[in-house]
Amino acid sequence: MEKNCFKSKIWISVVALLVAMPIFVVAFSWALPEHELWAHFSENILSDLISSTLILLLGVGVGVTLLGTVLAYLVVMVEFPGRKWLEWALFLPFAIPAYVLAFVYLGVFDYSGYAQVWMRETLGIPGFDIRAGSWAIILTFVLVFYPYVYMMTRASFKRQKINMIEAGRLLGVSPIRVFFKVSLPLARPAAAAGLLVTLMETLADFGVVSLFNYDTFTTAIYSAWGDFRSIEVAAQLASLLVLMAFFLIYFEKKARGQAKYYSANVANKKPYHATGVKGWLISLFVFGVFMLSFAMPMLQLVVWGYSSVADEWSAKYIDLIASTSILTITAALITVALATILALPRRCKQTSIWLKSVIRLATLGYALPGSVMAVGLLYGINQISIINIHFGGESINHIIYGSIALLLFAYVSRFMAIAYSSIEASAQQIKPVFTQSARLLGASRMRLIWQVYLPMMTPGILAGGLLVAVDVMKELPATYLLRPFGWDTLAIQTYELSAEGLFERAAIPALIMVVFGALLMSVFQVLDKKSSRST
Amino acid sequence: MLSVNNLSVNFGEQEVLSNFNLDLKQGEIFALLGKSGSGKSTALRFIAGLEQANNGSVEIDGVQLSVDGEHSVQPELREIGMVFQDYALFPHMNIEKNISFGINHLSKSAQRKQVLELLAMIGLEGSEDKYPHQLSGGEQQRVSLARALAPEPKILLMDEPFSSLDKSHKDHLVLQVRQILKKTNTTSILVTHDKDEANSLADKVGIIQNKQLTIN
């Protein structure tokens, strides 16, 4: 038994520490700090950065929690016209990368966008700067990220026993009170989990904030590195970001408290039926969110794409699609394989604080912007080369820079948390008795893993792989910095065109990405339905 | 053939079972009664090698499996079968695969033959291609028994195997299980809190009271 634990520890530690390496590199930056430039940053920029980042987090947090929870409650608990397809359609914004939505909104609502032109000329409303203040960017983030909270709370509402709500109703309590007193408190852990993911995504975002010219830690890191050529300051700023992520995780744990998810008995019966005007008003609201977050931007993309396809489409798109696919598939496979090693049921995991901590570390990459991941890796490789040369060896820079290995490393570190949480959830369902009975029947550890654990974890592994694939495909900042020559992706093409204001042409690569993303998401939906039916 | 000596179990600081001694002959069925928290399940799981104890040794056919509360032979190698309270059938395998899980060292045809024999014995002929969730609780329990018996274990352990069944099914199943165990001449230990169940299944009944085992 002791020996077994030792092996587990070796396996998990090697994988986890490797995946978490960029975080260590970033933290290591304080060992060789850059004082002068850091002083400049901390005196002039830091307080503004912190306040603008906090305003953004607060606004987005409140927004996604409200919108996501209300939408989830409506589609799960209330029957209203169009509910069935809207329940599914509300997931679709997942397929649109945040920066694509941002450039569509900018293209339409910017000073020179046709919405504002129309308002000025027809309604006589004076023009305004959509980039001023933070309301527009907050709204954009809320519309892109509400599906996280929606997804988590929806699952949680579905697990709530319908008779609990019926009991509330029979006691004469109004639907609104049942929502606040029964459903919402039970869904709180799920909402907190969704909120955590959203806030981390917001912290890590580079595309949206740079298109909106909004200063956050991420843009500051870029500026430290891009403008001042200081990897050290970039890494120092990044370590503050890691600190923020730790705080977020801590608060999520607190918000979750002792609450546990409630178990099954999934009923398709809806406790409430909204008919007549009420029903249509609810429909209109949910449909409105769907329109704003998916249908209208998509329509706009199609219109733009149609008008520019003749100019923009060329053979280079075959290359773009090929390199995007290769990177996406390879990264998803590696991430899932490593996440599975971390998530396999092991007795030692319950008791070992060490294992819990290294796994936590390995899944922290989600809070790190891709750019930091990239900076961390470059910095780390550089240090290794320096040490190597010092001992008479050769620089390893040339081997690494010319290959996609570093980029894949960044993807794996960055998206480990997504794969892990999905796979871990399915591993959690493997009760200890399965292990025990397999062992008593004489199964070796290998046989246990291949014939019992892996088949039972398959739904989680597939779902995790799909989610990682969607994220890798649209990943921007790390790809931007680490891609070797000739490895441009659809995301890069989209960003470069839209950063120059060429929205119509940017619509082409964006559309291709959205179509692929939607395909992957619908496979995920099918799997999700299947697995919820079989349990 | 089985002898357990000087077993003692603690829950945290508190000792709940001390100086537990048990000797069983080949084919004997023993039932262990006790309230929840009396350490009876832990005693069973100690014999299986799944849990450690403060003290105690286990010997089967003269081979030392555990000494001083530590296991010298791992559960995989003990040739002990176990039936769990919630059956623990593998949900992704059909009944045939479940039953043959422990006899994969045999040839395919020998596995098949044994599965069919066992299915006939538990009265579930023709169910080999079904999946566990397609069976009732009592049927799952019988499959779980067949799976545990397939490798012809030296000892069969049953941890509250009937507790999630309703009364009418239970009485019938208990008798059926006794017949099967007698037919296969399997030495068995049943852990339960139900006196009637213990009396109708076992040859010998022991009860844990005040940390001590008394056998009547």
- Give the pLDDT of residue A535: 45
Q: How far does A163 lie from chain B, in Å, by closest CA? A: 23
* pLDDT per position as a tens digit, B48-79: 998 888 899 999 998 999 998 888 888 888 99
Return d(Cα B71, Cα B157) in angstroms, integer. 17
- For an interface test with B, the pick among A5, A430, A435, A441 (most B C-beta atoms closer than 10 Å) comes out as A441
More confident residue, A53 or A43: A53
The residue with greater pLDDT, A332 or A271, is A332
* A355 lies in the same domain as A427: yes
**SS3 labels along A120-140:** HHHHCCCCCCCCCCCHHHHHH
Average pLDDT over residues B109-138: 92
Give the residue-averaged pLDDT of A496-508: 90
Do A440 and B91 make contact, defined as CB atoms within 8 angstroms?
no
Select the residue from B74, B90, B104, B143 to test the A interface by mutation, using most A Cβ atoms within 10 A.
B90
Instruction: Tell me: pLDDT of A90 over 70.
Output: yes
Q: Apex CA A361: angle with CA A48 and CA A236, to 5°?
A: 30
Domain assignment of residue A320, yes or no:
no
pLDDT tops 80 at residue A281? yes
Range scoring the smallest mean pLDDT among A3-7, A44-48, A427-431, B119-123: A3-7
Minimal Cα distance from B87: which residue of A? A433
Number of neighbours of residue B203 by Cβ within 10 angstroms: 15
3-state secondary structure A285-335: HHHHHHHHHHHHHHHHHHHHHHHHHHHHCCCHHHHHHHHHHHHHHHHHHHH
Same domain, A346 and A237: no
One domain for residues A367 and A454 = yes
Show residues of chain B in contact with A452, CB under 8 Å: 90
| Higher-scoring residue by pLDDT: A7, A416 | A416
Q: Report CB contact under 8 Å: A441, B147.
A: yes
- Which of the four pLDDT bands, split at 50, 70 and 90, describes residue A8? confident
Are A259 and A355 in a shared domain? Answer: no
A420 is a domain residue: yes
**Who among B75, B86, B151 is closest to A439 (CB)?**
B75
Would you say residue A291 has pLDDT above 50?
yes
A346 with A302, same domain?
no
Q: State the average pLDDT over residues A432-437.
A: 89
Chain B nearest-CA distance from A439, in A, is 5
**Whose CA is closest to B114, among B149, B158, B89?**
B149
Pairwise CA distance, residues A105 & A101, whole Å: 6
Across the interface, do A436 and B91 touch by the CB < 8 Å criterion?
A: no
Contact residues for A357 (Cβ-Cβ < 8 A; gap 6+)? none
pLDDT at B100: 92
Query: Higher-confidence residue: A428 or B97?
Result: B97
CB-closest option in A436, A442, A444 to B102: A442
Note whether A211 and A112 are same-domain residues: yes
User: Is A137 within a domain?
Assistant: yes
List, for residues A300-339, the tens digit of each pLDDT value. Answer: 999 999 998 888 888 889 999 999 999 999 999 999 999 9
pLDDT band at A235 (very low <50, low <70, confident <90, very high): confident
Both A199 and A64 in one domain: the answer is yes
pLDDT band, residue B143 (cuts 50/70/90): very high
Whether A4 has a pLDDT exceeding 70, the answer reads no
Tens digits of per-residue pLDDT, A321-331?
A: 999 999 999 99
Residues A225, A41: contact at Cβ < 8 Å? Answer: no
Q: Is residue A57 part of a domain?
A: yes
A21/A17 Cα distance (integer angstroms): 6
* Average pLDDT, integer, range A15-20: 87
Q: Of A277, A306, A335, which one is at a domain's C-terminal end?
A: A306
Q: Are residues A301 and A342 in the same domain?
A: no
Average pLDDT, integer, range B117-138: 91
In this structure, the strands spanning B14-24 and B2-11 are antiparallel
Tokens for B143, please give them.
Answer: 């499959």
Asked if the Cβ–Cβ distance from A441 to B101 is below 8 Å, we say: yes
DSSP of B32-48, one letter per residue?
Answer: EE--TTSSHHHHHHHHH
Q: Note down the domain range covering A362.
A: 325-487
Q: Residue A402: what pLDDT?
A: 62
Judge: B77–A442 Cβ closer than 8 Å, yes or no.
yes
Residues in chain B with CB shorter than 8 Å from the CB of A451 are 101
Residues of chain B with C-beta less than 8 angstroms from the C-beta of A440: 48, 50, 75-76, 78, 80-82, 148
Which residues of chain A does B91 touch, with a Cβ-Cβ cutoff of 8 Å? 456, 534
Q: How confident is the model at residue A204 (pLDDT cuts 50, 70, 90)?
A: confident
**Where do the H-state alpha helices sit in A429-489?**
432-440, 445-447, 454-474, 477-482
DSSP letter (8 states) at residue A337:
H
Asked if B30 and B192 count as a contact pair (C-beta separation under 8 A), the reply is no
Does A436 contact B77 at a Cβ distance shorter than 8 Å?
A: no
| Residue A464 CB neighbour total at 10 angstroms | 29
Residue B51 is classified by DSSP as S
The span from the CA of A498 to the CA of A502, in Å, is 5
pLDDT at A531: 63
Which residues of A are less than 8 Å from B102 in CB distance?
441-443
Q: What is the 3-state secondary structure (H, E, C) of A422-441?
A: HHHHHHHCCCHHHHHHHHHC
Whole-number percent of chain A with pLDDT over 90:
26
- Tell me the C-alpha distance between A479 and A369, whole Å: 11
B81 vs chain A: nearest CA distance in angstroms?
6
Q: Report the chain A residue with the minimal C-alpha distance to residue B52.
A: A1
Residue A387 has pLDDT above 70, yes or no: yes
Contact B133 A534 (CB under 8 A): yes
Please report the pLDDT score of residue A261 as a whole number. Answer: 46
Q: At CA A360, angle to CA A358 and CA A362, rounded to 5?
A: 70
Whether B101 and A436 lie within 8 Å, measured CB to CB = no
Answer for the pair A148, A193: CB distance below 8 angstroms, yes or no: no
Rounded Cα distance between B154 and B24, Å, is 12
Residue B87 pLDDT exceeds 70: yes
pLDDT band with cut points at 50, 70 and 90 for residue A268: low
Contact check, Cβ <8 Å, B82/A437? yes
Q: How confident is the model at residue A163 (pLDDT cuts 50, 70, 90)?
A: low
Of A437, A442, A343, A439, the residue nearest B132 (C-alpha): A437
Q: Looking at the structure, tell me whether residues A392 and A456 fall in a common domain.
A: yes
Confidence of residue A150 (pLDDT cuts 50, 70, 90): very high
Q: Could you tell me if A288 and A335 lie in one domain?
A: no
Q: Which of B76, B104, B133 sits opposite A439 (nearest CB)?
A: B76
Domain assignment present for A2: no
Instruction: Search chain A and give the residue with CA nearest B132.
Output: A534
Look at strands B55-60 and B14-24 and give their pairing.
unpaired
The pair of three-digit structure tokens given for residue B161, joined into one six-digit string: 């195997």
Minimal C-alpha gap between B92 and chain A (Å): 7
Residue A446 has pLDDT above 80, yes or no: yes
Last residue of a domain, one of A271, A306, A341: A306
The CATH number linked to A131 is: 1.10.3720.10
CB atoms within 10 A of CB A269: 7
Contact A465, A523 (CB under 8 A): no
Whether A265 shows a pLDDT value over 70: the answer reads no
For residue A262, pLDDT over 50 is answered with no
For A163-167, A201-205, A421-425, A454-458, which range has the lowest pLDDT when averaged over its residues?
A163-167
CB–CB of A368/A415 below 8 Å? no
Q: Which of residues 432-471 of A touch B (CB under 8 A)?
A: 433-434, 436-444, 447, 451-452, 455-456, 458
What are the residue ranges of helices labelled H in A110-212? 114-118, 135-159, 162-170, 175-178, 184-204, 207-211
Q: What pLDDT was estimated at residue A61? A: 94
In this prediction, residue A26 has a pLDDT band, given cuts at 50, 70 and 90, of: confident
pLDDT confidence bin for A286, thresholds 50/70/90: very high
Give the one of B76, B88, B93 whose C-beta lies nearest to A442's C-beta. Answer: B76
User: Both A221 and A343 in a single domain?
Assistant: no
Q: Quote the pLDDT of residue A461.
A: 92
A258 burial (CB, 10 Å; 0-12 / 13-18 / 19+) is exposed
Which residues in chain A are contacts of B74 at CB distance < 8 A? 439
- pLDDT averaged over every residue in chain A: 83
User: Is A190 part of any domain?
Assistant: yes
Residue A411 above 80 pLDDT? yes
Asked if residue A375 is part of any domain, the answer here is yes
> What pLDDT sits at residue A1?
43
- Alpha-carbon gap, residue B97 to B104, rounded angstroms: 10
Instruction: Give the count of domains, chain A.
Output: 2
Residue A242 included in any domain:
yes
Q: Which of A306, A341, A363 represents a domain boundary (last residue)? A: A306
What lies within 8 Å, CB to CB, of B195 at 6+ separation is B33
pLDDT at A368 over 80: no
Q: Work out the widest C-alpha separation in chain A, in whole angstroms.
A: 81
Q: Is the pLDDT of residue A259 over 70?
A: no
Looking at the structure, tell me whether residues A165 and A193 fall in a common domain: yes
